[in-house]
Amino acid sequence: MGSQIHVMFLPYMAPGHMMPMVDIARLFAAQGIRVTIITTTMNAIGFKNSIERDVESGRNISLEILRFPSAEAGLPEGCENLSSAPTPETTIKLIHGIELLEPQIKILFRERRPDCIASDYIFWWTIDVATELGIPRLAFSGLPDQVEITRSQLPDLVKRRTEFSEFFDKLKEAERKSFGLLMNSFYELESAYSDHFTKVTGIKAWHLGPVNLFRSVNDNALRGDKATISEQRCLRWLDSKEPNSVLYVCFGSTARFSKAQILEIGNALEDSSYSFIWVVGKVLKEDNNEDHQQQEEWWLPEGYEEKLKENGKGLVIKGWAPQVLILHHPAIGGFLTHCGWNSILEGLCEGLPMVTWPIFAEQFYNEKLVTQVLKFGEPVGNKTWRVWATEDSTLISRSEIENAIRRVMGDENEAKEMRKRARRLAEWAKMAVEEGGSSCNDMKSLIEDIRMFKRLTEKTTKES
């Protein structure tokens, strides 16, 4: 065998992209690959400890930490991740800031000359550097399938050409030219779509997930932002509840609601006969400050939290929740989710049925997979794709929410069947990552493919 293969990973600066990609990078290192992860100062904080522990256990993995061009992009210091962008305007600046890193990252690739670049699919330009260096580019991507969906549940981009169309054309083109796609999924979960995708596009895809199943307990506690609630407090509260009796409610790292919608959710959770943990998001402050920068604040109906403290029915988390630890607790019986792909996998691995409430991105596709294809969830009935909620966004009423919760958490036969299906999926997921399982085999064959690519390139260079 030749020298150690070196793969450089470039994750995108959003938790739902970054955390699974770091997991994949660590998996590569566990397979004896030399790994470098490129990121920025604030983003590194979320996973530096896990990487240090990997190094201590003898793995060849390191971080390449870049300074984020905050001032150049007009951003406050420390705002380096989409989850820390409070308004649409800040998000646009942040996306611009990320773009400003391109020349620096290209130089890094040219200096280090890795054997392979594994990049988030959003960094479409990594295909140019990979081609220039004569090395394979792997794109880390979301779910590639299509299911029945209404027009209003689709982003404009899919319906007509918009200002983002050109950018998406570039992503697709880069994907087509890539060596293949890395999927945080497992073959058995979506085999029909996976086969269809490969047949139609001709692009190779390796299913390496669910990557969360490779994490240790320590990793789960340390991942992402710092939890805003003590894990002990959360777990103690759950310990006091019956098995399968609590609904976990979380809308991921970037979704925002209006006050009116938060009120409906709060009322629905109170109306429902189930206990709950609710990770509430921030809302935009009504009165802007002097420099007209919009600010965010926590908001809950007057007296809401006090009531919960008295009756013990619910736990509210303002900020980052230790989601994976919560989902793993036996008291959790269901998950009301915005259908971010990571959340779906994390809930699925725990065998949890879901109440689905997609908001934007590819979340409506994910919802259909859960409710129509795999049938282990019920929709609250959101029909409108929308990035930022405003006070005039269509509301999902308390009764719609409460009905969906009952259909999932209740004792009806349909709910029982859903729970059974969810548990079966969890078993399949575990089998996929075990020795001999489909994801484990895909990982090995991917590494062999990269080795083969390297050998062939070296042979061609020697001969010419």
224 binds ligand UDP (CB under 6 A): yes
User: 120 an active-site residue?
Assistant: yes
Nearer to ligand UDP, 108 or 380 (CB): 380
Q: Which of 321, 408, 432, 446 binds ligand UDP (CB under 6 A)?
A: 321
Residue 432's Cβ-side half-sphere holds a number of Cα atoms within 13 Å equal to 28
Residue whose CB is less far from ligand UDP, 73 or 344:
344
Site for ligand UDP contains 50 (CB under 6 A): no
DSSP string over 33-90: -EEEEEEEHHHHHTTHHHHHHHHHTT--EEEEEEPP-HHHHT--TT--SGGG--SHHH
The answer to whether 300 touches 276, Cβ cutoff 8 Å, is no
Q: In angstroms, rounded to a whole number, what is the distance separating the alpha carbons of residues 282 and 261?
A: 12
Among 179, 193, 237, 341, contact with ligand UDP (rule: CB under 6 A): 341
Give the shortest CB-320-to-ligand UDP separation in angstroms. 4
Residue 340 found at the interface with ligand UDP (CB under 6 A): yes
Closer by beta carbon to ligand UDP, 24 or else 415: 24
Q: Which two tokens mark 123?
A: 């960094």
- In the complex with ligand UDP, the residue whose CB is nearer, 269 or 324, is 324
Residue 240 Cβ vs ligand UDP, minimum distance, rounded to whole Å:
21
- Does residue number 401 form part of the binding site for ligand UDP (CB under 6 A)? no
For 431, residues 6+ apart whose C-beta sits below 8 A from its C-beta are 188, 437
Residue 230 identity (one-letter amino acid): S
Instruction: Give the sheet arrangement for strand 275-280, strand by strand.
Output: 314-318, 275-280, 246-250, 332-337, 354-356, 377-379
- Considering the candidates 23, 120, 145, 219, report the single residue annotated as catalytic: 120
Tell me the window of 105-113, 320-328, 378-386, 426-434 that interacts with ligand UDP (CB under 6 A): 320-328
The CA dihedral of 88, 63, 224, 419, to the nearest 10 degrees, is 110
* H or E element that contains 161: none
Site track 348-367 with ligand UDP (rule: CB under 6 A), x = hit: --------------------
Give the one residue of 343, 371, 382, 438 binding ligand UDP; rule: CB under 6 A: 343
Alpha-carbon distance values, 26 to 143, 211, 251 (Å): 21, 10, 26
Asked whether 455 and 374 are in contact (CB, 8 A), the reply is no
Site for ligand UDP (CB under 6 A): which residue of 178, 342, 438, 439? 342
Range 18-37, binding ligand UDP (CB under 6 A):
19
User: Among residues 5 and 370, whose Cβ is nearest to ligand UDP?
Assistant: 370
- Answer for which of 179, 276, 320, 365 binds ligand UDP (CB under 6 A) is 320
CB of 462 to ligand UDP, least distance (A): 44
The nearest distance, CB 325 to ligand UDP, in angstroms, is 9
To the query of whether residue 329 is one of the catalytic residues in this protein, the response is no
Q: Which is nearer to ligand UDP, 129 or 280 (CB)?
A: 280
Mark 260-299 with x for binding to ligand UDP (rule: CB under 6 A) and - for no binding. -------------------x--------------------
- The residue within the footprint of ligand UDP, chosen from 29, 85, 324, 426 (CB under 6 A), is 324
Distant-in-sequence contacts of 54-59, Cβ < 8 A, 24+ apart: 54/26, 54/29, 54/30, 59/26, 59/29, 59/30, 59/35
| Tokens describing residue 37 | 């992860």
CB of 436: closest distance to ligand UDP in angstroms? 27
Residues 6+ apart with CB under 8 A from 21: 9, 11, 12, 118, 120, 140
d(CA 75, CA 70): 5
CB of 414 to ligand UDP, least distance (A): 25
How far is 77 from 42, CA to CA, in rounded Å?
9
Please, which of residues 72-91 interact with ligand UDP by CB under 6 A?
A: none
- Nearer to ligand UDP among residue 71 and residue 387 (C-beta): 387
Q: Which is nearer to ligand UDP, 197 or 335 (CB)?
A: 335
Q: Counting contacts by CB under 6 A, is residue 308 touching ligand UDP?
A: no
Three-point CA angle 117, 209, 23, nearest 5°: 55
Min dist. Cβ of residue 17 to ligand UDP (A):
7
Contact between 357 and 396 under an 8 Å Cβ cutoff? The reply is yes
Q: Tokens 């190779």 map to which residue?
A: 204
Residue closer to ligand UDP, measured from CB, 178 or 323: 323
323 binds ligand UDP (CB under 6 A): yes
Neighbours of 27 (CB within 10 A): 20
Instruction: Quote the least distance from Cβ 166 to ligand UDP, whole Å.
Output: 24
Residue recorded with tokens 């729970």: 419
Residues classed as catalytic: 17, 120
Q: Which chain residues interact with ligand UDP by CB under 6 A?
A: 14-16, 19, 224, 250, 252-254, 279, 320-321, 323-324, 340-343, 346
